[in-house]
């Protein structure tokens, strides 16, 4: 029979193996806290008494979701600028107050302010990601979690909120954002931190590995020049949202999709659209042919709420 030490060593070895996979396939950005003043003061709001997770542009209350950096709190504006510069494939946000993986949408359209399921176009993919996290945690997706026995919840079905980072990330930067409530008790005692890390580290790594290895990815380029295409977008059949390549320099893109085979259509002004099919997680390079009367296009270079971990699937552009 394996001893406790053997089991711990086995778990640590697995964690290191998964970390190596993530390191080979993705870039990971860590933000220890988005609200340092609130964290220091043990309160939700920042030093200006503003709840940062209600301060982001909201798709239902602010049509077009303008940045308006001057109207945001400095922490919000900093996170928005960072996120827009990275265009990460997926992210995790860490909160306290429950034990659950929460996925978009958090907000509900219209005048209804009551809790109810608010389905995003990528609902199936979000549910898959949330379950990856919940099932890699020892108790999140078990009967021991009385409030959320499945370990996941749609944000608005739990309680709706407007101006949250999770919805903004998805709509504006194409980032698949899941918010993890790590503990029923807010501000857990320091003596509990080691336990919380032991419980959540495997789930964090499972989430990052899934994004890094199971996202559909490739390059969208000009069929003649091999260059990235200005204004190019992609769409997945059955998913009512378009997305753009992460890198304007190479045309690299990555998108986490629900399991199964998908039809992906690429299009750009002055080019013939093209539809290709691939299984979720496969590489799918697409080259578009210019229309006879179209001018060649050139693409400018652009490299691509508490704590957050952001994962960008690595590609040809590094």
pTM of the model: 0.88
Mean pLDDT of 75-103: 95
Decide if pLDDT at 1 tops 90.
no
pLDDT of residue 7: 54
Mean pLDDT of 285-313: 58
pLDDT above 90 as % of the chain? 81
Of 118-127, 199-208, 222-231, 309-318, the least confident: 309-318
3-state SS, one letter per residue, for 9-53: HHHHHHHHHHHHHHHHHEEEEEECCCCHHHHHHCCCCCCCCCCHH
Per-residue pLDDT tens digits for 64-76: 999 999 999 999 9
Per-residue pLDDT tens digits for 120-129: 999 999 999 9
Catalytic residues: 181
Of 168-172, 209-213, 297-301, the least confident: 297-301
* Cα dihedral 12, 14, 15, 21 in deg (nearest 10): 150
* Cα dihedral 154, 121, 174, 59 in deg (nearest 10): -70
Mean residue pLDDT across the chain: 89
């Amino acid at each position: 029979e394996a001893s406790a030490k053997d089991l711990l060593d086995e778990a640590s070895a697995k964690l290191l193996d998964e970390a190596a996979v993530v390191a080979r396939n993705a870039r990971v950005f860590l933000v220890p806290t988005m609200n340092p003043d609130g964290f220091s003061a043990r309160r939700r709001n920042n030093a200006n008494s503003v709840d940062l997770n209600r301060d982001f542009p909201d798709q239902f209350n602010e049509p077009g979701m303008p940045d308006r950096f001057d109207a945001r709190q400095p922490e919000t504006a900093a996170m928005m600028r960072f996120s827009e510069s990275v265009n990460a494939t997926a992210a995790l946000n860490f909160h306290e107050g429950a034990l659950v993986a929460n996925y978009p949408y958090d907000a509900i359209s219209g005048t209804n302010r009551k809790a109810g399921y608010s389905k995003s176009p990528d609902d199936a993919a979000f549910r898959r990601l949330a379950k990856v996290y919940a099932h890699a945690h020892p108790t999140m997706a078990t009967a021991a979690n009385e409030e959320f026995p499945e370990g996941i919840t749609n944000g608005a079905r739990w309680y709706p909120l407007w101006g949250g980072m999770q919805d903004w990330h998805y709509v504006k930067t194409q980032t698949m954002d899941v918010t993890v409530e790590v503990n029923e008790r807010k501000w857990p005692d320091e003596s509990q931190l080691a336990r919380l890390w032991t419980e959540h580290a495997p789930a964090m790594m499972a989430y990052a590995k899934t994004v890094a290895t199971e996202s559909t990815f490739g390059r969208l380029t000009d069929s003649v020049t091999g260059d990235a295409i200005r204004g190019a977008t992609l769409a997945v059949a059955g998913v009512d949202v378009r997305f753009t390549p992460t890198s304007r320099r190479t045309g690299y893109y990555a998108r986490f999709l629900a399991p199964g085979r998908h039809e992906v259509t690429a299009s750009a002004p002055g080019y013939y659209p093209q539809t290709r099919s691939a299984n979720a997680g496969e590489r799918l390079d697409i080259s578009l042919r210019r229309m006879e009367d179209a001018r060649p296009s050139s693409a400018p270079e652009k490299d691509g709420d508490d704590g957050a971990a952001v994962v960008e699937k690595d590609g040809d552009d590094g």
